[in-house]
A and B are shown apart, each in its own frame.
Chain A
């Protein structure tokens, strides 16, 4: 049990909107063990970011958050006074956002902000904090770190800022890092570098890492386990090998078919598509959330809520009543494993 860093069970997030209640997260469960990278993937608007914000207790004020269990190393993250939560957040969880400029204060130097990230939570002399800042900047591949401390965020490139954000998230030596689209705004070369770095640091510091992305390529390369989200729900989860080797949910398969892969997809040919859009999450939905876009929909799909059911193999679960039958079809990827 001591290896379990994060437990999320039955997480629900809803927001009042003019047209009713937006049920953004509807019973999401997953866990992160020490040394694991869990990737949450899905199209935009599926509830990935709100899931992350709910874990950190950083949701908009008017949002409602409910969970059967939400714990960090066994300590509840729900019903905790804000002072305690602020401490947990900075101290034992680190967060890295897509746009570092939103989390870096333009008025303070990099050094000041890095040091504060530690001083806010620990009684250590400023010189110690500076020492750690320099060490971590070097560790994230920033040269002339001592000089960088005196620079302001706008003086750095996007890739450098994201490295600074990673260093900042590591200042207190957290047990868990939650990174929400940390490389989406970056160049592919820099994205690869940052992900390479994150994976390395995660191993080195033996943390849990939750990486949120809409990029299945990133997920396949970095995830220990994968959580595929669709319209507020987990529709498929398993190890990277399971989910990518033998995807079972029509949504997962659909997403994979959309991606051009050099040497595999043929130039000039049509890529796969998923017709339609993520449905509005306002109000209650009957049956399968994916039914409106699924090529395999039948009447039963719309009749009742579809449960997330474990498939053969450790932890591979899927929310589709036709998963077994569809996986047997020759069109499905890699039959061999079953």
Chain B
């Protein structure tokens, strides 16, 4: 694989007018969760009205705190879980009607924890080849050949073919997960925290690998991460999620240069770059943790927001779209501000 600077494939004009490769329209997912012995179940809105579209060849970053609904959204986009309401489309076609196998041919996941997502009782070769066996029509010789090719592509030594996940390092496990995701040549990969369990030295190898694969295979990525520096490095566009909603969405450079949502600001402050003397900034978030079972009124971020004002605990902010992207915050809503001032 070439180690020269990755060239970004420019989206062709034709693809710009084509329907997005993957699209979520007002998607909601609710779970009924019990709050303990003898207590009534309560609805938990894990994803609460999300709109997201991903075009062919794009890398979209999805960031937000633990529990805000990133994995739930990813699972719906992969067709692994139906939405409670709203719709999902692949190439303009509704995903709900599609067979699981056909979705899997187009979109594949690489999950957070490479350890728990790999079957500990199966060998590396068998894990990587599984999607081929599921799709069928591939003999065992052909499967072995394809698995070897894939192992080489992701930088796994052949001798690991018969090893078990427990015998691999974290980085090797994540390469196995990537090889398994790519063996059916999908067009899109949803990477859910692909490097958060890894050392930086291994993280950089996996990120470089993802860049190379993207260029060589023309892949589209949805990259879910807590690590904003990683997202800044990889993504063309970023969606920031908070308690089930996307609260800001714009191109990466704009987001980092000019974050607008107070939550995005706090996230950016939390990026601890290796620059001595800067200290650990006060994110001003306070210790009130978001609880999806007890959704705050008005703006769901208001209990932690350092910039909240009059209407924030009463009125739910609406999505405001402009050239600068989309943001859901009253600070940018002239109508609400006018009313508050009056």
What residues make up the interface of A, taking CB atoms closer than 8 Å to B?
43-44, 141-143, 157-160, 163, 186-193, 195-196, 199, 214-223, 240-241, 243-245, 254-265, 267-274, 277
Contact = CB atoms under 8 A, between A and B. Distances in A.
B230 A273 contact: no
A262 B232 contact: yes
B38 interface: no
A250 to B, nearest CB: 12
Contact of A218 (B204, B229, B272): B272
Given A159-B289, A265-B233, A273 B201 contact: yes
Interface in B206-230: 207-208, 211, 226-230
B128 to A, nearest CB: 20
24 contacts: A44-B170, A143-B287, A159-B287, A163-B287, A188-B270, A189-B266, A189-B267, A191-B270, A193-B287, A199-B280, A220-B273, A220-B275, A221-B279, A241-B277, A244-B276, A256-B274, A258-B203, A259-B200, A259-B229, A260-B229, A261-B274, A264-B273, A268-B8, A273-B204
B279 A260 contact: no
A262 B255 CA distance: 11
A262 B234 CA distance: 11
A196 B282 contact: yes
Q: Top 7 A-B pairs ranked by shortest CB distance?
A: A217-B272, A260-B233, A258-B204, A141-B287, A271-B204, A192-B270, A240-B276
Contacts of A218: 272
Contacts of B164: none
A221 B280 contact: yes
A188 B227 contact: yes
A268 B289 contact: no
Given A192-B272, A262-B228, A255 B287 contact: no
B271 interface: yes
B227 to A, nearest CB: 7
A165 B285 CA distance: 20
Interface of B: 3, 5-8, 65-66, 169-171, 199-205, 207-208, 211, 226-230, 232-234, 252, 256, 266-267, 269-283, 285-289
A216 to B, nearest CB: 4
A172 to B, nearest CB: 23
A215 B272 contact: yes
Contact of B274 (A141, A196, A244): A244
Contacts of B274: 216-217, 219-220, 244, 256, 259, 261
A157 B7 CA distance: 42
A102 B283 CA distance: 28
Nearest to B236: A267
Contact of A196 (B3, B199, B203, B281): B281
A271 B208 contact: yes
Nearest to A272: B204
A270 B6 CA distance: 7
A276 to B, nearest CB: 9
Contacts of A190: 65, 289
B226 A188 contact: yes
Given A43-B200, A258-B203, 6 more contacts: A43-B199, A187-B226, A188-B227, A272-B204, A273-B201, A274-B201
Contacts of A192: 269-270, 272, 280-281, 283
B277 to A, nearest CB: 7
A258 B270 contact: no
A199 B200 contact: no
A259 B195 CA distance: 12
A260 B232 contact: yes
B267 A188 contact: yes
